Amino acid sequence: MKTAKERRRMKRWNVAVLVRCSIPKLSADVFELEMWAKDVNEKGMQLEWSRGLGVSHVQPDGETGSLKSVRFDDVQFAKGSKILVQDLFYDDDGSPFMDGKILWARKSASNGNWALGIEFEKGEKHSQALLGAFKDFLSIVKNPTAAIRKASKK
């Protein structure tokens, strides 16, 4: 496992993608949040959650009834929590889920926004198609002008 210093030195690419995240709060409660993906690399990414982005309480399977709303100030993030990230990129089947966990969570004193460091689960847990689509996404993020040039030739 890499040290914190080694992880900080890893090359990251800036992106601004609105993603959906599912985070279990308690054993039976799951929250779905919209967050900004701020930077990304092969191992993980930083997410930012701020006021005005959507959040909802997801009902357990089989339960009916309306979703409960959640206040921004009531949400806390814990190191080690599991997270599912969706809408970061799309493949032939739509928008796949990327499994990960929260490595660190910081709340800004000035504006109250949350910043989360996410580490993706090892590749064995993900299908080859998903890993291929993620690799394509990273190649676009690394060099967007080349990707635009390539797409315009088609």
pLDDT tens digits along 60-79: 664 545 556 667 777 788 89
Contact 79, 105 (CB under 8 A): yes
Taking each continuous run of H as one helix and of E as one strand, the counts in the chain are 3, 7
Predicted confidence (pLDDT) at residue 85 exceeds the cutoff of 80? yes
Domain 4-153, CATH 2.40.10.220 — does that match?
yes
Q: 13-56, pLDDT tens digit by residue?
A: 566 677 777 776 645 667 788 888 887 877 888 888 888 887 77
Cβ–Cβ contacts within 10 Å for residue 21, how many? 25
pLDDT at residue 104 in the model = 92
Contact 98, 126 (CB under 8 A): yes
β-strands 13-24, 55-58 pairing:
unpaired
Nearest to 99 by CA among 89, 86, 90: 86
Identify the burial level of 109 via C-beta atoms within 10 angstroms of its C-beta, where 0-12 means exposed, 13-18 middle and 19 or more buried: exposed
Q: 99-140, pLDDT tens digit by residue?
A: 889 999 999 989 888 899 998 887 667 777 788 888 888 888
Kindly give the residue spans of alpha helices, DSSP state H, lying in the chain: 4-9, 128-142, 144-153
Q: How far apart are CA 130 and CA 23, in angstroms?
A: 21
